[in-house]
Structure 1
Amino acid sequence: MSLFIYACSSNNSEKKADRTYAEESAPAASDPNAYDPHRGEGKFDKVDLGDKLDVAMAEAGKTIVDLKCASCHKMTDEKLVGPGWKGVSERRKPEWIMNFITNPDAMLDKDPELQAQLELCLVRMPNQNLSDDDARKILEYMRQNDGVK
């Protein structure tokens, strides 16, 4: 699964110790068709991560990643077919990650940063038809990869 075209060449190194994310202005709430760059396009509006890493969930996420994602993504910042995943859980909100995992087509069609990354990576992420539960496990594995304990 080619998960994060966004990270393909991004060198954004914002620290997320306080779990805040990129300061972008969200679209006006009165425009239901506006794309929200903080949460992406999909059903996830709020993802509760908890204070600590769920190790069992991260291990299950690794199993899914090894099966569906590792052929295109490395857990480092190195590009393979798609971008490396290092730091992605620090650069993006969990809602955005979950929405991209479960709804990549709409995200690629609407997110200007993803469209720019697509020009660099040259391969559109396929929809792997992952469940919400699988997406959450992958997110937890990404968090583990980024040093969350």
Structure 2
Amino acid sequence: MKKLIVFFAIGMIVYACSSNNQQNNNTATTTEKETPSVDSYDPTRGEGKFDHVDVGEQLDVTLAEEGKKIADLKCASCHKYTEEKLVGPGWAGVSKKHKPEWIMNFITNPDPMIDKDPELQAQLEICLVRMPNQNLSDDDARSILEFMRQNDGVK
């Protein structure tokens, strides 16, 4: 049964990645296809529209609960909330390791970050599967970030 679930999850990932790439190829403009220099990549901020994300000292429990619901639906098929690798790496410690803007940029803009971030490229060699763009809203990504903080012990 466990093998069937893993096989199904991998099949869903392959399907999600292939249908997303088709969609992106059909809608990309000339300027979107041009990749900026890797030299301009900021490994502490990532690549995307978020320059600063104010998370505050205390956890927003309501936001974290919403983030868990979204993560259970969109992320849990590939990520465990522990250190254990599933398809992708485990989430334990991610909010302590990366700045909030990096996490938000990666959630909402994974492809350019995977293409430019040496750490993500090394992770890709381990996991062998690119994180698909789940097309999450900024609010959804912020909720997931808050859940990640809760998962890492922020109260």
Larger radius of gyration: 2
Query: Over residues 68-113 of structure 1, what are the superposed CA-to-partner deviations in whole Å (9 max), with x where a residue is unaligned?
Result: 0000000000000000000000000000000000000010011011
Give the aligned partner of residue 53 of structure 1.
59
> Does residue 127 of structure 1 match 2:127?
no
Secondary structure of residue in 2 paired with 1:107 = helix
Q: Any unmatched runs of 5+ in structure 2?
A: 1-36
Partner of 1:36: 42
Shift of 1:51: 1.4
Tell me the number of residue pairs that the alignment of Structure 1 and Structure 2 aligns.
119
Q: Deviations over 1:99-146 (max 9, x none)?
A: 000000010011011001100000000000000000000000000000
Residue in 2 that maps onto 1:85: 91
Give the TM-score of the pair, scaled to structure 1.
0.78
Residues 1:143 and 2:155 are matched in the alignment: no
CA offset at residue 33 of structure 1? 6.0
Equivalent in the alignment of 2:81:
75
For residues 35 and 127 of structure 1, what CA distance do their matches in structure 2 show? 19
CA contact (8 A) 2:47 2:112 kept: yes
* 4+ runs deviating over 3 angstroms: none
> What runs of 5+ residues in structure 1 fail to find an aligned partner?
1-30
Q: Give the TM-score normalised by structure 2.
A: 0.75
More helix by share: 2
* Separation in 2, partners of 1:111, 1:46: 19
Once the two structures are TM-superposed, the CA of residue 50 in structure 1 deviates from its matched residue by 1.0
